[in-house]
Amino acid sequence: MNTGKLFLLLLIPILFCFYGCERKNTYYIDPANGSDDNSGTRISSAWKTLEKAALQNYQAGDQVLLKGGQEFSGSLVFDSIKGSSEKPFVISSFGDGKATILSGDSAAITFKNSRFIVFKNLSCKGSGRLNGNKTNGFDFISNTNLTIDSVEASGYLFSGIRINGGSDIRITHAYAHDNGFCGIHVTSDRRGKDDSKDKSIHNVYIGYSVAENNPGCPVITDNHSGNGILIGGVTNGLIEYCEAMKNGWDMPRKGNGPVGIWAYQSDSVTIQHCYAHHNATSPEGHDGGGFDFDGGMTNSVMQYNLSVFNEGPGYGIFQYADAKEWHNNVVRYNISYHDGIKNGQCGILMWCDPVAIPMKDFHAYNNTIVNKFGYGVNFLPGHYENFVFENNLFLLTEKSMEFTGGEFTGASFSNNLYWNTYHALNEILQPKVRLDSTAFIVDPQLVLPESGDLEKLSPENINTIKSFRLSDSQLKAKGKNIDHNGGTDYWGNMVSGETNPGIGAFE
């Protein structure tokens, strides 16, 4: 063969790879054994500091790995990294355990304008919401195709994990605690003002995550803070198997307050199989409930959730003054137990600002509400159109004489069960039921939790509890058939749609 032709044949693949192949490197950082004079591309030649890692020009497919079990001081900012579905950019830990970034008064890691990012197995600690921190823990701004898994964030003024703009976001096995504004916050507020009305973040998944003891943000004095998990401006979102507890107790203001798990200005959101308990608000603040579909929510569902011992209502149905339309939302097969300790005094609370766009087309069915503070359902003044309550079980356990509080013109009730154990025990007539001509007024013989039962629960096993099940067979198959009912009850028992369901969350 001609040697010139042979040389060209050998050269072509080299040139092709040089110009057409994306480089893939793994960079290691080890504060105990590394040196910033090293190449960083092997464990034995790891870098030492985050500052060195910040100077590198990264490509699709690269990985940055921090030594597990070690602490790193400082911060990292990544901007305009363009990974791909086949070659994502990865930042994680190597070796045993999670690496921990001690970021002081700053964010630990910030990603901006990037795509196909995998961020996992890391923790971060700020100096504390009351001790000088000024930002979020893990901060993601205008990124797409972002995967966050097995991370922990604590000690930040605002949120442990904040997603600001972008799309195709997946957060799993996150633990966000002891932050100020929120544990996990997803918002489309990209330009320093409220852009959440455009619902521009598409495809958000938050699963198997915990938001605990995020008490409130001391610098926010004109709005709520102290939330567990909050999403706004989302189209197509799913929050499932998450827990929010002991949030909101140190919000520094009066007025509207925090909630355990909630969404606003979003479309096609489902919140399911979640557990919200012991959430609170400031001494003179509102809200502090378990779950909430707030202003501007459309075409969304809450199902199979458990809410207990919250200062506010178990399930808030709210519309504020400048929100977009609120319509076509469903709350089904949920449980509320002794919620509304301070605000709402009920399991499900409705509020529509009198100057807001009227709320319409709400369906609440097959929920089990047990309350000792006031009502099963409560309406604050507002405009409610086509609010339908069916097949719900309302059990009161104290002296309250009303199952439904407030004025509810525009709402209808049918096939609900109403019972007050206090009046039954004291041989007093059951309270009069308003506007439910097909009401069941009978003791459901509901199995209530014993002391300590609810403290043992997590989102993965809330549908195994023995409490809240019907023991009176006369109520089975007494409910009204409802189309597109989700397919199962709270415990996963099939609801076929071909036969009548039961009353409450248990089929």
Tokens of 51: 């500052």
Instruction: Name the phi and psi angles at 350, rounded to 5.
Output: -105, 135
How many angstroms separate the Cα of 496 from the Cα of each of 184, 257, 486, 500? 36, 39, 9, 9
**Span 324-353, average pLDDT:** 97
Averaged pLDDT for residues 405-430: 88
Question: What is the pLDDT, as a whole number, of residue 473?
Answer: 67
The residue behind tokens 């030492």 is: 48
Any domain includes 144: no
Q: Are 352 and 319 in contact (CB under 8 A)?
A: yes
Least confident of 148-162, 246-260, 426-440: 426-440
Confidence of residue 17 (pLDDT cuts 50, 70, 90): very low
Q: Is residue 319 part of a domain?
A: yes
pLDDT at 436: 87
- 225: in domain: yes
With respect to residue 76, please indicate whether it lies within any of the assigned structural domains. Answer: no
Confidence band, pLDDT 50/70/90 cuts, at residue 452 = confident
Domain housing 249: 158-475
Residue 229: per-residue pLDDT: 98
Element spanning 392, H or E:
none
In a domain, 471, yes or no: yes
122-163 per-position pLDDT tens digit: 999 999 999 999 999 999 999 999 999 999 999 999 999 999
List, in order, residues 6 or more apart from 386 with CB less than 8 Å away. 360, 361, 362, 410
Measured CA to CA, the distance from residue 357 to residue 385 in angstroms comes to 11
Q: How far apart are CA 385 and CA 394, in angstroms?
A: 22
pLDDT for residue 196 is more than 90 = no
Would you place residue 428 in the very low, low, confident or very high pLDDT band (cuts 50, 70, 90)? confident
When divided into structural domains, the chain yields a total of: 1
Report if residue 103 sits inside a domain.
no
> What is the predicted pLDDT for the residue at 63?
97
Query: Residue for token digits 């506010």?
Result: 312
Q: Does residue 390 belong to any structural domain of this protein?
A: yes
Q: Cα–Cα distance between 316 and 326 in angstroms, integer?
A: 13
Sign of the torsion formed by the C-alpha atoms of 32, 38, 40 and 45: negative
In a domain, 395, yes or no: yes
For residue 247, what is the domain's CATH number?
Answer: 2.160.20
End-to-end CA distance of the chain: 81
